[in-house]
Amino acid sequence: MITNPTPQRALRAHRPPRLSPRTAATAENLARLAPRLTARDRWLTRMLHEHKVLTSAQIAAMAWPSLRSANARLRELFTWRVIDRFQPYAAIGTAPMHYVLDAAGAAILAHEDGLDPRDLGYRHERAIGIAHSLRLAHTVGTNEFFTTLIADARRAGNRRLTTWWSEARCTRHFGDIVRPDAYARWREGSAGIEWFLEYDLATERPDRVAAKLPAYDKLATTTGIITPVLIWLPTVRREAAVRRAVSATLAELDHPAQVPVATASADHLTVDDGLAGAHWLPLRTYGAAPGRVRLVQLPAAWPQIAPIDGTATAVEPDHGELLPPPPMPPSASLRAGN
């Protein structure tokens, strides 16, 4: 009651326990982590640094035998401040947990590569701030595209995603001309393909999507390298609209053959045939039979592109920049975290 207030000392006597007690990001914590982190844990920190955010389901599909085993390890890494997490709002149901790099994970990455952690440009508030970004759905969707390919490669021994560059890395290398959502290389048996990805959520007019193609034409002219552009769309209807706009734009280019384009939509996906399946429909084919083809069959539609050698693209990192991690995870060890 107002006449008998609670003494101040009583208010400070007991503190409610934190929901998830976590270790402090200190030098002592980093030392204790040295024998605890597996090669797969370290690979995951690099993936999160490169691609900003991954959901628990994406992480499990890429590198763990099950979602349950992945969640068990992710909880440990979260407790150790290697990674952080948030759960966005979902109007229906419950959103999966989303993971980002935390302070201890960033420090470990820097020290592994002989860098000062400050040189990475990492800031925890910026990493976790993606939870409120208006581009969160786009980033998670783009990452879902590639984690699905990695999961497909884990099931089939003759397939590999050998390169996966994030939007941020593409911007650093090509941003003065074009800003793709990602760059990747995929191999299936002896065949391979590299491409730039445009991941579409139907949030802009089809002609705005097509308006990006002249920049790819300029990039091909500047570098002398013709790289296909693959456009992933949410529905068949959206795909048809974008294809009409893209066809009109290609017709206006001086060198349309320098911009090979293919489209696919989520409506074509099946449980048995993943993203590498016969879902891709090229525009302006040259000698190849029309119709949807497998991902590695697309180069047959564009004889003007050079074959790839199957090795990952090597670039010299700028000061304070880490090389892109290998997309395929390391083999599971017998240590903790399996």
- 149 in the same domain as 54: no
- 294 in the same domain as 195: yes
- 265 in the same domain as 193: yes
Top-ranked range on mean pLDDT: pick from 3-7, 27-31, 91-95, 194-198: 194-198
- 146 in the same domain as 121: no
Tell me which of 189-193, 231-235, 328-332 is least confident. 328-332
Query: Which residue range forms the structural domain that includes residue 202?
Result: 136-301
- 81 in the same domain as 65: yes
3-state secondary structure of 232: strand
Give the tens place of pLDDT for each residue, 274-300.
899 999 999 976 655 578 999 999 999
- 247 in the same domain as 142: yes
Domain boundary among 132, 152, 169: 132
What is the rounded average pLDDT for all residues in the chain? 88
Domain boundary among 112, 132, 152: 132
Does residue 15 lie within any of the structural domains? no
Instruction: Label residue 230 exposed, middle or buried (CB < 10 Å: 0-12, 13-18, 19+).
Output: buried
Domain boundary among 132, 147, 163: 132
Tell me which of 3-17, 79-93, 95-109, 173-187 is least confident. 3-17
- 167 in the same domain as 57: no
Q: What are phi and psi of 327, to 5 degrees?
A: -60, -35
Beta strands 98-101 and 54-55 are: antiparallel
- 295 in the same domain as 149: yes
Count up the domains in the chain and report the number: 2
CB 195 within 8 A of CB 260: no
Give the tens place of pLDDT for each residue, 135-187.
999 999 999 999 999 999 998 889 999 999 999 999 999 999 999 999 999 99
Angstrom distances, CA of residue 235 to CA of 29, 211, 307: 48, 20, 31
CATH number, domain of 95, equals 1.10.10.10
Does residue 321 lie within any of the structural domains? no
